[in-house]
Amino acid sequence: MDLSELAGRHGRTTGAIGARLARLVPEAELVEAELVEDSPASGGGPASGVALVGSAELEWLRARLAADPDYPWRSVFDARRRPPRGLRRRRAAGHAPAAAPGEPAPAGPTRGEPAAGPQWSARLDDVRAEWERTIGHQLRAERRAEFLARPVVADLAVVAAPLRQAAARRLWEGEARLLLDDWLLECLCPGASRLTTDWAPIAERDPDTVLLLRELAAAAAAEIPAGRSREIVCRRLGLHDGPAESLAAVGEAFGISGERVRQLQVKAVRGMASTAAPATRSLRTLLAGLSRVDDPPCPDGSPAGDGPDPLDGSRTAGAAVADPPASARLLDLAEVLLPAVPVRQAALVIAQLAGARKLRAENLAAEAVTVRALRHDAARRELSRQGRIERAARRWAALEAEVSWFGAPQPAPPRGELAALRDTAGEDGRSGSWRCPKLGREVAYESETEWRVVQLLSFAPQIAYYQEQPLAIGYDFDGRRRTYYPDLLVATTDGRCVLIEVKPVYEMATAVNVAKYRAVEALCRSRGWGLVATDGWRTRRLLEDRPVDGRLEAALDEALARGGELTWHQVRAAAGALPLKSLDLAALVLRRGWVWRTHPYRLRGGAPASIPAPLSDPAPASDFTPVSAPAPDAPAPDAPAPDAPAPDASAPSPPSPGTEPIPLFPEVSPQPRVVPSPAEVEAARTAAGGWTRAQLAAWGVAWPAPKGWKQRLAQEWAAGR
């Protein structure tokens, strides 16, 4: 029977049968077989360990029993139940480095065993002579014995002479020194002696450093004494330029269960964490210094380190951090050293090799997985941000083409002299604040429309900085002096300044917003700044140029000429069957100079009801509170025009703008209009405290009743007495 048939007959795995067969082979034969397997000259390697544990023992037993039917296999099995202590110690210490290809494996003591024999003494003397010849220094007689007694000299003695001499020359020419430990490491892994615990090459993914670390890891894995364990570790960690294999795949290759593969891997890694083999010892030292797994966590539970916390997602993959914590370092080391292994498994192995205890290593591996997920999220956000910047650049370029410029463009005030002059925080659910990455502070906004414009300015690369609510401008409306705060002042990267009025498009044509726009326009003319009113996409200029059906314009013009003022119902009646859109009406208001009010809805023809006085040059940039004053080319409000006749003192003075009487009911009533006295008005109140629509119609008051209608009725009644 072959190995698989034996395993099937006994209901065991092929690995279990192979391990039992190995106990039937004498210890000397098994050690000799392992040494032949490890020798590169024999063509063996990690893959040959699969045939050794199982089929090789089976073939050896068949040949031995055929030649010697009385072979005492029972006594051999009893003797092999517990290996001698010396053999266990030699296996734990690790095999000596193999000879160069083409040379037989030299016989010599392993680490920790004393040197003996004239041939071995000659090899030690060769190492000493090479060291003295390389550095040009001769040891005294009393120092030679101390030199030859060092274990590292014995390890160097088993290395092929050409490799040893070449390594000595490289170290001496590169560093002007020849330390024995570095010499041995250079023989096992050329260039590994130059590796340091500096984190910058790891963070920057330096190709030379990455290559040397991977070669050192492969050399450390080659120092695992047991052939099967060595092969398992190499396959599980992907150390042979192949993908990392799963427990089930490795178990199937070796004829053992996946759980047994895991146990052997844990045992091998634990042995690597305590062995004195040179490559493994150097790898442990490097990983301990690079990972800093011994650094205690912060008292609040956050990762240690002076750099930014990687758990906040602020760092993308591959970006350098001055002093990242242990979890972030383990993640980078896992990506550099074991790229084919899942992050959690790789970080756990590296933490154990670096000297972390089991619980600490498991916690750090879990944190490394979290850091990796957050880094990926940050990378996705960065890609999204780059796309957003490109879109914002295109949007601002289109919006900048709609800016109205007055004279030669002038620069914006310095950023340090700008501040918000009004608190926009409220409980209306529309206002709020947004963290601007460009300004590094919270930016207040009053509506969703303004928030969209703020985000556009934050991501557009053409914008250097901006300020919300930067100015206080006086203007007149409805006979009162008011103060308006422009929404945004923008400084562009080419040294220009733009004031932005943020309004929904249909609101740009209302009477109060027209008055505000004229006040801001006067300021921009005096300052040489640009001005644009927008909702983030459309502008006031686009609204003014909007094409409107001429029949609708003629119908509304005729209705305004007949009635003077129109309510919403009258506007709809005047439009008739023609389609009426709010943007069409707003465009006509801006082009024709009509006055459009809401709450209640009123549309008046002719000149605006209130034209704000032009402004003089605003206040200094330190406070930016412009003072309203007549323009230089306009007459004073109370002064007569130069060519006007002298006013007649007996004639009544004309009403001031914004105070002329407004018809309460412009349409002709079919019944005579009755002007009641104030007492009659109060007596006509209903039980609910108001007045009926019919009663107001009899008095000539439109529905809904405009503000101040009672006072006007009282004035008419007093004038008619």
The mean pLDDT value for 204-213 works out to 88
What pLDDT does residue 144 have? Answer: 85
In the predicted structure, residue 464 carries a pLDDT above the cut 90: yes
Q: Rounded to the nearest 5 degrees, what angle is found at the Cα of 455, between the Cα atoms of 451 and 461?
A: 155
What pLDDT does residue 359 have? Answer: 92
Please name the residue that has the structure tokens 């007093």.
718
What pLDDT does residue 332 have? Answer: 92
What pLDDT does residue 457 have? Answer: 92
Cross-strand bridge partners of residue 477: 480
Please name the residue that has the structure tokens 């053999």.
87
Q: Kindly compute the dihedral angle of the four CA atoms of residues 156, 160, 164, 166, in this order, to the nearest 10 degrees.
A: -170
What pLDDT does residue 459 have? Answer: 92
| Angle (deg, nearest 10), helices 326-337 and 207-222 | 80
Question: Counting beta carbons within 10 angstroms of the beta carbon of residue 404, is it exposed (0 to 12), middle (13 to 18) or buried (19 or more)?
Answer: middle
Please indicate whether residue 615 or residue 528 has the higher confidence score (pLDDT).
528
The mean pLDDT value for 368-389 works out to 89
What pLDDT does residue 661 have? Answer: 40
Quote the percentage of the chain above a pLDDT of 90: 21
The mean pLDDT value for 214-230 works out to 88
The two three-digit tokens of residue 633, written as one number? 């080319």
Question: Counting beta carbons within 10 angstroms of the beta carbon of residue 388, is it exposed (0 to 12), middle (13 to 18) or buried (19 or more)?
Answer: middle
- Residue by residue, DSSP assigns 115-170 as P-SHHHHHHHHHHHHHHHHHHT-PPPHHHHHHHHTSHHHHHHHTS-HHHHHHHHHH
SS (H, E, C) 37-103: HHCHHHCCCCCHHHHHHHHHHHHHHHHHHHHCCCCCHHHHHHHCCCCCHHHHHHHHHCCCCCCCCCC
In the predicted structure, residue 311 carries a pLDDT above the cut 60: no
Q: From CA 136, how far away is CA 633, in angstroms rounded?
A: 98
What pLDDT does residue 364 have? Answer: 92
Strands 602-604 and 595-597: antiparallel
Distance of CA 626 to the CA centre of its chain: 42
What pLDDT does residue 646 have? Answer: 42
The mean pLDDT value for 146-152 works out to 85
In the predicted structure, residue 462 carries a pLDDT above the cut 90: yes
What pLDDT does residue 386 have? Answer: 87
Q: Tens of pLDDT along 508-525?
A: 999 999 999 999 999 999
Q: Rounded to the nearest 5 degrees, what angle is found at the Cα of 170, between the Cα atoms of 160 and 135?
A: 90
Helix segments in 511-659, DSSP class H: 511-527, 540-544, 550-563, 568-575, 582-592
Please indicate whether residue 88 or residue 180 has the higher confidence score (pLDDT).
180
pLDDT band at residue 458 under the 50/70/90 scheme = very high
The two three-digit tokens of residue 106, written as one number? 């030299």
What pLDDT does residue 684 have? Answer: 83
> Of 73-82, 235-244, 255-264, 308-317, which has the strongest mean pLDDT?
255-264
The two three-digit tokens of residue 396, written as one number? 């601002």
What pLDDT does residue 648 have? Answer: 43
The mean pLDDT value for 209-238 works out to 89
Q: From CA 540, how far away is CA 542, in angstroms rounded?
A: 5
Cis, peptide link before residue 704, omega less than 30° from 0: yes
In the predicted structure, residue 209 carries a pLDDT above the cut 80: yes
Asked if 51 and 15 touch (Cβ cutoff 8 Å), the reply is no
The two three-digit tokens of residue 217, written as one number? 């890891």
pLDDT band at residue 366 under the 50/70/90 scheme = very high
What pLDDT does residue 112 have? Answer: 43
In the predicted structure, residue 135 carries a pLDDT above the cut 70: yes
Asked if 704 and 665 touch (Cβ cutoff 8 Å), the reply is no
The mean pLDDT value for 267-296 works out to 88
pLDDT band at residue 658 under the 50/70/90 scheme = very low
The mean pLDDT value for 352-376 works out to 92
Q: From CA 227, how far away is CA 49, in angstroms rounded?
A: 5
Q: By mean pLDDT, which of 253-267, 317-331, 682-696 is the weakest?
A: 317-331
Please name the residue that has the structure tokens 């960065």.
382
What pLDDT does residue 76 have? Answer: 84
Q: By mean pLDDT, which of 367-371, 389-393, 517-521, 654-658 is the weakest?
A: 654-658
What pLDDT does residue 488 have? Answer: 93
Nearest residue to 488 (alpha-carbon basis) of 460, 515, 467, 516: 467
The mean pLDDT value for 466-482 works out to 90
Mean pLDDT of the chain: 78
Q: From CA 444, how far away is CA 447, in angstroms rounded?
A: 10
pLDDT band at residue 138 under the 50/70/90 scheme = confident
Asked if 650 and 447 touch (Cβ cutoff 8 Å), the reply is no
Identity of residue 31: V
Q: Tens of pLDDT along 64-108?
A: 899 988 888 888 888 776 655 555 445 455 444 443 333 433 444
CA distances from 396 to 384, 454, 534, 540 (A): 18, 12, 11, 15
Please indicate whether residue 55 or residue 260 has the higher confidence score (pLDDT).
260
In the predicted structure, residue 640 carries a pLDDT above the cut 80: no
Q: Tens of pLDDT along 663-705?
A: 433 333 344 567 888 888 888 887 666 778 778 878 888 877 7
Q: By mean pLDDT, which of 71-85, 130-144, 239-253, 293-307 is the weakest?
A: 293-307
pLDDT band at residue 636 under the 50/70/90 scheme = very low
Please indicate whether residue 566 or residue 52 has the higher confidence score (pLDDT).
566
Please indicate whether residue 329 or residue 105 has the higher confidence score (pLDDT).
329
The two three-digit tokens of residue 715, written as one number? 């004035």
